[in-house]
RNA sequence: GCCCCCAUCGUCUAGAGGCCUAGGACACCUCCCUUUCACGGAGGCGGCAGGGGUUCGAAUCCCCUUGGGGGUACCA
């Protein structure tokens, strides 16, 4: 194949009929890695032939989030390139011209069948238990009949003549050999709609030819399209690129990820908003169906480029596993330099009333919980007890810890010494708690620490107690909460 | 219905006929670290869909069955 001597050129060709989707992103990742691995070019093109559903807001979203993921293209509608235009709607004339040439060379024909006729055909076929397909009737329309249809005002579409039966096959770079009989393709496929716009399968082939695409890497939902497209390449007298079809991404019920069923969970923007790092998502998407030979799972984009190999991409579908994504994201969050983490985390504090804290204390809070985060949107829930609001101590898990003589004693002792905690760093605060406890017969155990933790946070679990006190000190909240807890447990006693 | 693709722990996978008593990761469980949680460390649970072949030998090759998925538009 001559393509083997050419420089690799691949593309991602989304249609702007929805926000950037996990499946599209994964396909983009594969194409990008393949291009970079082979020192080739990566092209971004818009397949906007569906004028009904296309929307510029979707285009902007797709571009934004592909870039967010760290995927950059060498040519595209936004940056241009020497193989443009990169939007199909700008190539309408071009497609039509090529289709007309196919008609002139008797490889295609005008088909005057109406939507109603086709619907009737389909219905009849279904009623008689036959597979529904176009019956190629338009091939045999006489010149005279055609003129009559024209006179009637019918506007034809253009269909490709497909030889049947015949086997179309290719060696898929992911799946291996695939063969499809032309009889199963549904009849002569439309090339140009009666609206004058090229149909997806035709526009794709023309574009891939125009852009000298050497490798087409896409989802396996395109396998039958590939057979049709190979036929179009042939009719055009051109050689095909190589094809690779990746298995789809499923949900936990093994259903294809879809906007309809999964809503915003398939949108990349959802993950950005929830506080997932692009490197985590990129890493997860890459390793989901691809394993490095040494088994390494955490890797940089550079390492992925170096190792990527389509032959090692799994043939079977993978279930999108949020838990595993969380693991990756936790890893990358922890790996972030403190400054970067703080800057990324700040926006997630906006729904918390933390005005009374100074910048350094805010940063301390964030670093307190950094190691346990799956994503940034978990920050809010984990820091609520720093807000100057009352704490609910009557929860069934919490209350019994306060209602003991020993708890009342330590709370009272802490209150007596509360001023001493001001301006202490956390090791000093820890030493002071221990000193207060030990000199009053406590041991360094739950009995000493848990009532304090519960009084201050209303929770059984959380970061280091002395660090919490350090941040809370100076706000007046330590004293207020110790008093509240003590009063509560004294009330119930009397 | 018809066509195509796929089939190893719950999930993602390693495995290209002997290295497999099937390896790793996530999740889960136990223990350690520790005042709690998280992080980290050490263990554990758990799988070749079924049936026929081929072979001295099969998770690996072939066939059938079953299961899952995708496609069957003048959508992309």
The interface predicted TM-score of the complex, written ipTM, equals 0.95
pLDDT in tens, A100-138: 999 999 999 999 999 999 999 999 998 888 889 999 999
Nucleotide B72, nearest residue via CA and C1':
A186
Give the separation between CA A463 and CA A449, rounded to whole angstroms: 12
**Tokens found for residue A120:** 């009737």
3-state secondary structure of A40: coil
pLDDT in tens, A391-442: 999 888 888 899 899 999 999 999 999 999 988 888 999 999 999 999 998 9
All structural domains of chain A with their residue ranges = 1-84+247-335, 95-192, 336-379, 390-493
Which residue in the list A64, A122, A259, A420 is annotated as catalytic?
A259
- The number of beta carbons lying within 10 Å of the beta carbon of residue A116 is 8
Query: Do the beta carbons of residue A472 and residue A362 sit within 8 Å?
Result: no
From the CA of A170 to the C1' of B58: give the distance in Å.
29
Nearest nt to the CA of A227 via C1' is B4
**Tokens found for residue A447:** 């009995």
Best CATH choice for the domain A390-493 from the list 1.10.10.350, 3.40.50.300, 1.10.10.60, 2.60.40.2130: 1.10.10.350
Q: What is the pLDDT of residue A228?
A: 98
- The number of beta carbons lying within 10 Å of the beta carbon of residue A486 is 21
For A50, left (φ over 0), alpha (ψ -120 to 50), or beta? beta
Q: What is the pLDDT of residue A396?
A: 86
pTM for the model stands at 0.93
Q: Exposed/middle/buried for A331, CB within 10 Å: 0-12, 13-18, 19+?
A: middle
Nearest nt to the CA of A255 via C1' is B69
Q: Which CATH superfamily is domain A1-84+247-335 in?
A: HUPs (3.40.50.620)
Strand B bases near protein CB (under 7 Å) are: 1-8, 10-16, 23-27, 35-39, 68-76
From the CA of A160 to the C1' of B34: give the distance in Å.
73
Return the C-alpha torsion angle A389, A390, A394, A395, nearest 10.
10
Q: A95-192 maps to which CATH number? A: 3.90.800.10
From the CA of A221 to the C1' of B76: give the distance in Å.
11
Answer yes or no: A259 catalytic: yes
**Tokens found for residue A411:** 């709370």
Q: Which residues of chain A have pLDDT under 50?
A: 1-3, 494
Asked whether the CA dihedral A118, A122, A123, A128 is positive or negative, the reply is positive
Give the separation between CA A490 and CA A70, rounded to whole angstroms: 58
Buried b (16+ CB within 10 A) or exposed e, A8-24: bbbbbbbbbebbbbbbb
**Tokens found for residue A381:** 């829930």
Give the separation between CA A321 and CA A318, rounded to whole angstroms: 9
From the CA of A324 to the C1' of B28: give the distance in Å.
14
Asked whether the CA dihedral A327, A329, A330, A331 is positive or negative, the reply is positive
3-state secondary structure of A218: strand
3-state secondary structure of A205: helix
DSSP, res A199: P
Contacts of A244 (CB under 8 A, 6+ apart): A30, A172, A173, A174, A175, A215, A216, A217, A218, A310, A313
Q: What is the pLDDT of residue A492?
A: 57
Asked if the domains A1-84+247-335 and A390-493 are classified in one and the same CATH topology, the answer is no
Q: What is the pLDDT of residue A51?
A: 75
């Amino acid at each position: 194949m001559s393509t083997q001597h050419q420089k690799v050129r691949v593309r991602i060709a989304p249609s702007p009929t929805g926000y950037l989707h996990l499946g599209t992103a994964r396909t983009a990742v594969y194409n990008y890695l393949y291009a970079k691995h082979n020192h080739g070019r990566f092209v971004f093109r818009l397949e906007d032939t569906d004028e009904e559903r296309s929307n510029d807001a979707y285009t902007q979203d797709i571009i934004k989030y592909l870039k967010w993921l760290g995927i950059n293209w060498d040519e595209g509608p936004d940056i241009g390139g020497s193989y443009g235009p990169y939007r199909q709607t700008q190539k309408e004339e071009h497609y039509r011209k090529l289709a007309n040439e196919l008609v002139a060379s008797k490889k295609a024909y005008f088909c005057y069948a109406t939507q109603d006729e086709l619907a009737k055909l389909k219905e009849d076929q279904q009623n008689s238990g036959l597979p529904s397909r176009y019956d190629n009737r338009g091939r045999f329309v006489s010149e005279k009949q055609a003129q009559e249809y024209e006179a009637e005002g019918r506007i034809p579409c253009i269909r490709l003549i497909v030889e049947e039966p015949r086997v179309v096959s290719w060696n898929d770079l992911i799946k291996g050999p695939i063969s499809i009989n032309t009889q199963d393709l549904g009849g002569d496929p439309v090339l140009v709609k009666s609206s004058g716009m090229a149909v997806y399968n035709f526009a794709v082939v023309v574009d891939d030819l125009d852009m000298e695409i050497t490798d087409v890497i896409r989802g396996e939902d395109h396998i039958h399209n590939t057979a049709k497209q190979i036929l179009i390449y042939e009719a055009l007298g051109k050689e095909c690129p190589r094809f690779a079809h990746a298995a789809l991404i499923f949900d936990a019920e093994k259903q294809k990820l879809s906007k309809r069923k999964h809503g915003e969970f398939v949108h990349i923007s959802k993950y950005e908003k929830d506080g997932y790092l692009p490197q985590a998502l990129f890493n997860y998407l890459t390793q989901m169906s691809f394993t490095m030979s040494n088994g390494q799972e955490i890797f940089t984009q550079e390492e992925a480029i170096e190792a990527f190999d389509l032959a090692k991409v799994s043939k079977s579908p993978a279930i999108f596993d949020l838990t595993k994504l969380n693991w990756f994201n936790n890893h990358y969050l922890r790996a972030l330099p403190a400054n970067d983490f703080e800057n990324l985390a700040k926006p997630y504090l906006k729904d918390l009333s933390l005005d009374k804290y100074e910048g350094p204390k805010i940063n301390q809070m964030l670093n307190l919980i950094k190691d346990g985060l799956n994503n940034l949107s978990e920050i809010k829930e984990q820091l609520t007890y720093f807000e100057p609001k009352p704490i609910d101590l009557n929860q069934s898990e919490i209350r019994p810890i306060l209602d003991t003589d020993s708890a009342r004693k330590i709370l009272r002792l802490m209150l007596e010494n509360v001023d001493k905690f001001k301006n202490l760093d956390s090791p000093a605060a820890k030493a002071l708690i221990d000193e207060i406890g030990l000199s009053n017969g406590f041991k360094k155990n739950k009995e000493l620490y848990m009532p304090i933790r519960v009084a201050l946070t209303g929770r059984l679990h959380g970061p280091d107690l002395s660090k919490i006190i350090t941040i809370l000190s100076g706000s007046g909240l330590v004293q207020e909460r110790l008093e509240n807890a003590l009063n509560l447990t004294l009330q119930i006693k009397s």
